[in-house]
Copies of this chain bind each other. A is one copy, B any other.
Amino acid sequence: MAIDSPNQPFINTKNFKKQVISYNQGTETDKNWIVTETAFHPEYQGKCEAIFCQGNGYMGIRCSTEEAYVGQVRNTFIAGSFNKFDAYEVTELPNAADHMGMKILIDGRRLDLSTGKVDNYFRRLNLRMGEVIRQFTWTNINGKQFECRFRRFVSLKRLHTFGTSVSIKCLDSPAKIEIISGIDGQQTNTGAQHFHEGNKRIYDRTHLQLLATTTESKITFVHNASHKVVIDGGQESISSRFAMDRRSLFMVYQVTPEAGQTLQLEKISNIYTTRDKEMANKSVEQIQEYSLTQLKESLAMGYDKLQEESALHWATKWQQTDIRVNSSNDLDQLAVGFALYHLTVMTPTHDSRMGIPAKGLSGEGYKGHSFWDTELFLLPFFTFSRPETARNLLEYRYHTLPGARKKAAENGYKGAMYPWESAWMDDGEVTPVWGAADIVTGKSTKIWSGFIEQHITSDVAFAVWQYSQVTGDEDFMEKYGYEILLDTGIFWASRLEWDENRQLYTINDVVGPDEYKEHVDNDAFTNYTAKWCIQNAIDYYYFLRDERPDVFVRLNTKLSLDKAVKEMEARVDQVLLHPPNEDLIIPQNDTFLQLQEIDLTKYKQQEHVGSIFLDYNLEQINQIQVCKQADVVILLYLLEHLFPKEVKAANFKYYEARTLHDSSLSLSSHAILAADLGDLELSYELFRKAAAIDLGPNMKSSDHGIHAASIGGIWQMIVCGFGGVRMVGGRLRIEPTLPTAIQQLSFPIIWQGNRLQLTIGKNGYSIENQGMEPVLFEFKEQERQVLPGATLTL
């Protein structure tokens, strides 16, 4: 058996200096560009299915193996193609028909790596190229040997196109090989079928086309696939027959290569939908025709050329944003490359009508919904290095304003109250209402986030403000940004509740970032950021009135700003903000510090997150001083100018000890704050832990998809943590500090349109201004300037 012990990690993150692909992109080697699975274990398929996910922001395809295994999860997602199974469920990203699965029969038996013997196995994701290669020698139970090689890519150039290449070499004897490959629309989202079965058609006995329409949103998907099958590079495609089944259609190839011969199959596919912007003016019939033409063109190019074209597009992405980490642990470079790879794969750049799902496009977890994860954990990367994509993502929040206003109105508030979970533009709140089993009552636990986790509205406003300060994109602000900032401020002012005893405005019955505390009053993060929102809106009111009169008139008409500003001004200074207590601790909410303390050692040392639920239900956890994730800590990071260092230090110490990091969003905030506080080794330790969330040895953690926010956090830990890059009060600050393991760090950022290349060493750093304007920044509390074309060494 070729399978490692299940207790050992089998993701080999060591370097592969050898080129593993057959064409060489320039002189760069593949050192630290490759993640390798060194043995296949059917019990842990979810890991590589998710972390080897391929995509281009338009689509994402989970890396399930061609041949089927029990426990496999096939996923093909088209960004933004949301559908609702029924009136009792929330909208989710439907799992489209699968093109990657193939039934491969060798002498009548399924190719199955859990039988026979497997040698020289690897599956490699080449981050630089965006290609996955899986290769092994299989000895079947009759002792015949086969060398099998599977390659696949999703084109970064042609957003609709993807391909597979399969080669099977009969090493020692002839074998009857049957491959059944096509388009399989029997997929569901864990049982929920989102599609009406549509027409199926085989053109010219070759080109498969399958239609499927979502049941509620009525988006028609047009799937096309075509094969070319040859022996030993022969010219003529092997003859075949075809078959249809329910929701599916297939080609059936039967070939009997001689010993030494190789069966080669290329499969080129594409998917178009009626939701695609570029298809907006086409009928379904026109899309069918158009997509078929595209397929034929791609088929004529063939796998290698298509893949090479895609790799060239990857190269430009890497040029734009690559980070080089010179560390004593090679994994650090790989982890950063892995993060940048997935930040590209998961993020729509072609359309601003959709956000980034919490699991990217790599799994069904969180139903493809967008959370605050985007604004606080992912956007900083885009804002600082791909501002055009950051703008897209914030435009998405603008497009969802009607839903946010509806949510506010339904709850008796004014302004814009963003949904905790967000899907299609007009879906409004899509947080599911029921979750996991309550161990005490045996019933499903109610999920309160959709009702009362309200800080998302601050998070969106903060991200808009951050974007505007970092980019100076006035066009965005005038069209979209000011309106969001004003209307979120209006919401918060209306949300406040007057407390007669305290003679202050309070915010009661919420869930803060720490979701282990439900129905709390005056959550510190919520209250501080709400007040920030209101003040910000007031400031922009006067700025627009005085500086942008045309914008002001338009928004004043739309939002009744003159009236709204009165309420905001009357309340903003009376928002209850918990000050640090005598021990400098900021209470997480009204009651947190009075709750029971228990020994959390067992849960802090847990192998899998959420282990506390094996002993307590949520109602009981609500009564304990335990946090799921950063709460006060993230506040100290976000509004860092409000808190002196000693307060940050005290709170970091207090809350970290009580935080289980049961959310993947938790570690990066802690790591950055630890760096700020000068504890670089702790910061580095937390960085490595965060990097291990997807890449590490826990083989189950990524089953439902990669952790998008954690991946965004990796970028932030490097750039904002060790790199010390911040925007504080509209100004750029750069205060790098490297942990022992990292010798050098280099990365680009874009400040107000000027690309800056930073190279940070142990004894200082250099900053090269590749832009057109001088850039001012702060270093060691002094203002510095770097002129266009100049390099400043500090």
Contact, CB under 8 Å: B215 / A141: no
CB closest residue in chain B, given A250: B437
The reply to whether the CB of A23 lies closer than 8 angstroms to some CB of chain B is no
Complex contacts, A436 vs chain B, CB 8 Å? 243-244
Give Cα distance in the complex from A69 to B114, angstroms: 12
Evaluate contact between A193 and B108: CB separation under 8 angstroms.
no
A794 at the interface (CB under 8 A from B): no
- Give every chain B residue within 8 A of A108 (Cβ-Cβ): 6-7, 43
| A109 x B191 contact (CB < 8 A) | no
Determine if B193 and A192 form an interchain contact, defined as CB atoms under 8 angstroms apart.
yes
Flag the segment in A83-91, A144-152, A570-578 that touches B. Answer: A83-91
Q: Contact between B215 and A86 (Cβ–Cβ < 8 Å)? A: yes
Inter-chain contact B70/A437, CB cutoff 8 Å: no
Shortest CB-to-CB span from A128 to chain B, Å, is 34
The answer to whether A43 and B109 touch across the interface, beta carbons within 8 angstroms, is yes
CB distance from A100 to the nearest CB of B (A): 15
| A444→B191 contact, CB < 8 A | no
Interface 1/0 per residue, A598-642 and B, CB below 8 Å: 000000000000000010000000000000000000000000000
A204 to B187, CA, bound (A): 35
Closest residue to A207 on the B side, CB-wise? B442
Residues on B with beta carbons closer than 8 Å to the beta carbon of A85:
193
Q: Distance in Å from the Cβ of A323 to the closest Cβ of chain B?
A: 37
In this assembly, does A185 line the interface, its C-beta being within 8 Å of a C-beta of chain B? yes
Docked complex: A160-214 residues within 8 A CB-CB of B: 185-188, 190-193, 196-197, 199-205
What residue of chain B has the Cβ atom nearest to residue A186's Cβ? B191
Q: Inside 8 A of A246's CB, which chain B residues have their CB?
A: 190-192
On whether A191 and B185 interact (CB within 8 A), knowing A43-B109, A70-B69, the answer reads yes
Known: A88-B196, A191-B246. Contact between A205 and B442, CB under 8 A?
yes
Query: How distant is the Cα of A42 from the Cα of B111 in the complex, in angstroms?
Result: 12
Is A241 in contact with chain B by the CB < 8 A criterion? yes
Given contacts A70-B110, A88-B196, contact A141 B1 (CB under 8 A): yes
User: Contact flags (1/0) for A108-136 with B, using CB distance below 8 Å?
Assistant: 11101011000000000000000000000
Chain B: which residue is nearest A209 at the CB level?
B442
User: Roughly how many angstroms separate A196 CA and B88 CA in the complex, as a whole number?
Assistant: 8
Given B71, B186, B191, B201, which contacts A442 in the complex, CB threshold below 8 Å?
B201
Alpha-carbon gap, A204 to B439, bound state (A): 10
Interface residues of A in 269-284 (CB under 8 A from B): none
Q: How long is the Cα–Cα vector from A112 to B249 in the complex, in angstroms?
A: 30
Tell me whether A242 is interfacial, beta carbon within 8 Å: yes
B443/A201 in contact, CB under 8 A = yes
- Let me know if A102 is at the binding interface, CB within 8 A: no
Q: How far is the CA of A190 from the CA of B89 in the complex (A)?
A: 22
Residues A425-440 near B (CB distance < 8 A): 436-437, 439
**Chain B residues whose C-beta falls within 8 Å of the C-beta of A6 in the assembled complex:** 108-109
For the complex, give the distance between the alpha carbons of A590 and B423 in Å: 61
Contacts of A197 in B (CB 8 A): 88-89, 191-192
Enumerate chain B residues within 8 angstroms of A203, measured Cβ to Cβ.
442
Question: Is B437's CB under 8 angstroms from A200's CB?
Answer: yes
A410 at the interface (CB under 8 A from B): no
For A114, list chain B residues within 8 Å (CB). 112, 114-115
Min CB gap A244→B, angstroms:
4
**A43 CA to B7 CA in the complex, in Å?**
30
Asked whether A247 is an interface residue with its Cβ less than 8 Å from the other chain, the reply is yes
Task: Tell me the bound Cα distance from A201 to B70 in angstroms.
Answer: 27
Within 8 A of B (CB), among A206-263: 215, 241-247, 249
**Once the chains are docked, how many angstroms separate the CA of A193 from the CA of B95?**
13
Q: How far is the CB of A142 from chain B (nearest CB, A)?
A: 9
User: Contact string, A748-775, partner B, CB cutoff 8 A, digits 1/0?
Assistant: 0000000000000000000000000000
Closest to A42 in B: B110
In the complex, whether A447 has a CB less than 8 A from a CB of chain B is no
Q: With A and B bound together, what is the CA distance between A86 and B213 in angstroms?
A: 12
In angstroms, how far is the closest chain B Cβ from the Cβ of A93?
Answer: 14
In the complex the two chains form, what is the Cα distance from A68 to B187 in whole Å?
18
Instruction: Find out whether the CB atom of B141 lies under 8 angstroms from the CB atom of A86.
Output: no
Which residues of the other chain, B, contact A443 by a CB distance below 8 angstroms?
Answer: 200-202
- A724 to B192 CA separation, bound complex (whole angstroms): 53
Task: Collect the chain B residues with CB atoms within 8 Å of residue A110's CB.
Answer: 42-43, 70
Closest CB of chain B to A533's CB: distance in Å? 36
CB of A247 within 8 A of CB of B191, answer yes
Cβ distance A603 to chain B, nearest Cβ, rounded Å: 16
List B contacts of A68 (CB < 8 A). Answer: 70-71
Question: Nearest B residue to A87 by beta-carbon distance?
Answer: B196
Measured CB to CB, the closest approach of chain B to A114, in angstroms, equals: 5
Please measure, in the bound complex, the distance between the C-alpha atom of A302 and the C-alpha atom of B377, giving whole angstroms: 54
Contacts of A215 in B (CB 8 A): 86
Q: In the complex, which residues of chain B have a beta carbon less than 8 angstroms from the beta carbon of A185?
A: 191
Nearest Cβ on chain B to A580's Cβ, whole angstroms: 41
Tell me the smallest distance from the CB of A178 to a CB of chain B, in Å. 12
Kindly report which residue of chain B lies nearest to residue A208, judged by CB atoms: B442
A24 to chain B, nearest CB (A): 38
**Is B244 touching A196 in the complex (CB atoms < 8 A)?**
no
Residues on the B chain within 8 Å of A115, using CB = 1, 114-115
Q: List 23 A-B contacts (CB under 8 A).
A: A1-B141, A3-B141, A68-B70, A68-B71, A69-B70, A86-B196, A88-B197, A114-B114, A115-B115, A185-B191, A190-B245, A191-B197, A191-B246, A193-B193, A199-B444, A200-B437, A200-B444, A202-B442, A202-B443, A203-B442, A205-B442, A242-B437, A249-B437
Closest 6 CB pairs of A and B: A186-B191, A202-B442, A244-B437, A193-B193, A68-B70, A190-B246
Interface residues, chain A, CB within 8 Å of chain B? 1, 3, 6-7, 42-43, 68-71, 85-86, 88-89, 108-110, 112, 114-115, 141, 185-188, 190-193, 196-197, 199-205, 215, 241-247, 249, 436-437, 439, 442-444, 614
Q: A70-B110, A190-B246, A200-B443 are in contact. List 20 more A-B contacts (CB 8 A).
A: A1-B115, A3-B141, A42-B110, A43-B110, A85-B193, A86-B215, A89-B197, A112-B114, A114-B115, A187-B191, A188-B193, A191-B247, A192-B197, A200-B444, A201-B442, A202-B442, A203-B442, A205-B442, A243-B436, A244-B436
